[in-house]
Amino acid sequence: GRIGFSGSLLLIISSGGIVTVDTAVRFPVRLLESGPAGEALAAASYGAACGYSDLLSFDMGGTTAKFCIIDRGQPLIAHEFEVDRRYRLKKGSGLPIKLPVIEMIEIGAGGGSIARIDPLGLLKVGPDSAGAEPGPVCYGRGGSEPTVTDADLMLGYLDPNYFLGGQLAIDLTAARRAIKERIADPLGISIEEAAWGIHQVVNEGMANAARIHTLERGKDPHRFPLFAFGGAGPVHGFRIAKALGSPALIVPFGAGVMSAVGFLTAPLAFDFVRSWPGSIDVMDWQ
């Protein structure tokens, strides 16, 4: 090719295997959840390297957070998922796809999740998000609603002088002003208390989702170390691990590119699923 690559080009599929380009062209639907599949494989690989065969993968980005159970070294597999949901986080509002996929739970919590006071005077965070454009107030790109990232910056979890490796200047003063005007003043609390409230509300929401997900699968969240990654995962990983009672917290180097790392660990594999109709009394179960 034009960049001089002479190796084999392989693509990852939703169930966690990698396939040739020809296979991907024949079955493009298999690539729908390929990105999240990579992060689950990365979690399993890092867990094995750290001596953990059971792990809870936690990816927090700008708009959503995802959890995946790694059980005995392998991500759990589901055989149905939804795409093109009318309501992004509402089950049953999308098109069902009956194919193997690495099972994850997704909730509307990310660095761009917007904090607000609801009609009852309670602090709410998400699921609506400022996204990357305009993004959090501190980005200085026109955002006016305080977000989780603004609160994290206020609390000192983010370095304003080295955000994105120093390539993106972020405005602490603007973040403080937005939190003060939209959250602190209406609630009659300090800016620091408001920022901490935003941080804690989003943490509790994610921890509750993870707890329910593991318990529904018959797993005890107390025995699953937490593997935190994504753009915002390491900032919130400790509090979530503490809320879940996790025995350990793992934060990898290069946490923002874990899907790409996971692609490098994927096996060459393709799953086939076939219906076999027949009468129960004559079916061979062996």
Compute the distance between CA of residue 66 and CA of residue 58 in angstroms, rounded to an integer: 6
Predicted pLDDT at 1: 55
Averaged pLDDT in 10-residue chunks for the chain of 286 residues: 77 89 90 88 92 94 92 90 70 82 90 93 91 89 93 93 85 94 95 96 94 92 94 94 95 89 83 75 73
Query: DSSP states of 160-172 as a string?
Result: TTSGGGGTS---H
Predicted pLDDT at 196: 97
Predicted pLDDT at 285: 67
Compute the distance between CA of residue 265 and CA of residue 42 in angstroms, rounded to an integer: 7
What's the one-letter identity of residue 177? R
Compute the distance between CA of residue 109 and CA of residue 276 in angstroms, rounded to an integer: 41
Compute the distance between CA of residue 43 and CA of residue 49 in angstroms, rounded to an integer: 10
Dihedral of CA atoms 184, 185, 186, 191 in degrees, nearest 10, equals: 0
Give kind and range of the element (H or E) at residue 42.
helix 34-49
pLDDT digits (tens, 9 = 90+) for 177-224: 999 999 999 999 999 999 999 999 999 999 999 999 999 999 999 999
Closest CA to 182 of 170, 197, 202: 197
- Could you tell me the two tokens for 202? 């989003």
How remote is the C-alpha of 207 from its chain's centroid? Answer: 12
- This prediction's pTM: 0.87
Closest CA to 190 of 160, 139, 155: 155
- Provide the terminal-to-terminal Cα distance of the chain, rounded to the nearest Å: 49
Domain layout of the chain by residue ranges: 10-109+221-265, 113-200
pLDDT digits (tens, 9 = 90+) for 59-75: 998 888 999 999 999 99
Compute the distance between CA of residue 241 and CA of residue 229 in angstroms, rounded to an integer: 13
What's the one-letter identity of residue 17? G
Predicted pLDDT at 172: 92
